[in-house]
Amino acid sequence: MVTLPGRVEKVIPARYEPEKAQISVEGADPLYDEIRGENALQDEEGEQVKLNPGDDVDVTEADANTTNSKRPSAIGVWPSFGTHGWS
């Protein structure tokens, strides 16, 4: 697994699908230095939370053997220490 720091650049609203968070990933290969994912996450207590622009996050790539994903690899996003921007 590889974990890199990232920052939420913007939240993209959508009418017919879940809103997405666009995250810039520091130190990633150019093809993967910007990712988008659904902005619907859960905290440690199972409560629904969302990312906000400017939030610092840790982005972890894991192979399918360590996730419940059917894809060869999966991306996980976790808030960095000091999650001041979560709502």
Residue type, 74: A
Cα(68)–Cα(55) distance, integer angstroms: 26
With bands split at pLDDT 50, 70 and 90, how would you rate the model's confidence at 60?
Answer: confident
Burial class (CB in 10 A: 0-12, 13-18, 19+), 84: exposed
Give pTM, 2 decimals.
0.70
Write down the pLDDT at residue 3.
Answer: 85
Domain ranges of the chain: 2-79
70: helix, strand or coil: coil
47: helix, strand or coil: coil
Mean pLDDT is lowest, of 9-18, 48-57, 69-78, for 69-78
Q: What are the two backbone dihedrals, phi and then psi, of residue 66, each rounded to the nearest 5 degrees?
A: -105, 5
Average pLDDT of the segment spanning 62-82 = 54
The CATH class, in words, for 2-79 is: mainly beta
